[in-house]
Amino acid sequence: MEIKVLKPILGANDQRAEENRGLLEKNKIVAINFTASPGAGKTSLLMATIKALREEFRIGVVEGDVSSAIDAETVSKEGIPVVQINTGGACHLDATMLSNALANLPVDDLDVLLIENVGNLICPASFALGEHRKVLVASVPEGHDKPHKYPVMFSESDAVVLNKIDLQPYVDFDRDKFYSAVNGLREGAIIFPVSCKTGEGIDRWVSWLSEQIRSEQRA
């Protein structure tokens, strides 16, 4: 009797994410998906990253928020092409939303796409966008137990940026506990302690990111 081996059927979102990936690759764009809880400092990290990398790469941005265009306006002031997606209540970006955003960006003139997902540490893990890397932004005032509470997001991220380290003296945040929790979820996890306010640690983060972008460009 013939034995049937069934491959998992891609869900509609995964299928669309693969189409996005194809379009990104055709245009030689490396896409980075930033996730975080609200207020961790994703937009601030994006701004610091743009400042550091804009000489080397042509950067575009997708801003995901439930409502408002505040973050897109911040990015736009830098003269960077940006599309704001308002999810109208949905707590994550999905691949169709990114596809619409790509249709409204100058894809011929971009090397890098920075995607700021909706502030939420739960369901963005379930919605691939077609991105090349996932970066989770955590911050010191959120506490060192975040990785225990949202394990999937931490385990699926290629790197973790720990923002607002300038606030360390004012809050009970145990950096060793945070590091060991993250490492427990992803062995050899890459963690970048930074302060977008003082600039501390930004160099190391940015040099890792530009190396990731260059390695994808070579691939």
Residue with tokens 């245009």: 27
Q: Is 110 helix (H, G, I), strand (E, B) or coil?
A: coil
With beta carbons less than 8 A apart as the criterion, state whether 35 and 137 touch. Answer: yes
If one asks whether residue 125 binds Zn ion (CB under 5 A), the answer comes out as no
- Using the rule CB under 5 A, which residue among 52, 91, 167, 190 binds Zn ion? 91
Distance separating alpha carbons of residues 50 and 108, to the nearest angstrom: 19
Residue 72 or 185 with smaller CB distance to Mg ion: 72
CB atoms within 10 A of CB 148: 15
End-to-end CA distance of the chain: 42
Closest by CA position to 109, among listed 79, 135, 70: 79
Cβ at position 133, least distance to Mg ion in Å:
18
- When CB distances are held under 5 to 8 angstroms depending on the partner's kind, the choice from Zn ion, Mg ion, none that residue 71 binds is Mg ion
Q: Is 193 helix (H, G, I), strand (E, B) or coil?
A: strand
Query: Which range of residues in 60-68, 108-116, 118-126, 160-168 is near Zn ion by CB under 5 A?
Result: 118-126
- When CB distances are held under 5 to 8 angstroms depending on the partner's kind, the choice from Mg ion, Zn ion, none that residue 195 binds is none
Residue 123 or 190 with smaller CB distance to Zn ion: 123
| 159 token code pair | 């790197």
Closest by CA position to 201, among listed 188, 186, 191: 191
Residue 65 or 94 with smaller CB distance to Mg ion: 65
Cβ at position 72, least distance to Zn ion in Å:
20
- When CB distances are held under 5 to 8 angstroms depending on the partner's kind, the choice from Mg ion, Zn ion, none that residue 43 binds is Mg ion
- Using the rule CB under 5 A, which residue among 24, 49, 84, 92 binds Zn ion? 92
Binding site for Mg ion (CB under 5 A): 42-43, 71
Cβ at position 64, least distance to Zn ion in Å:
10
Q: Which residues 6+ apart lie within 8 Å of 64 measured at CB?
A: 85, 87, 92, 93, 97, 115, 116, 117, 118
Tell me which residue has its CB nearest to Mg ion. Answer: 43
Cβ at position 152, least distance to Zn ion in Å:
13
Cβ at position 165, least distance to Zn ion in Å:
29
- When CB distances are held under 5 to 8 angstroms depending on the partner's kind, the choice from Mg ion, Zn ion, none that residue 146 binds is none
Distance separating alpha carbons of residues 27 and 36, to the nearest angstrom: 27
| Interacting residues with Zn ion (CB under 5 A) | 91-92, 123
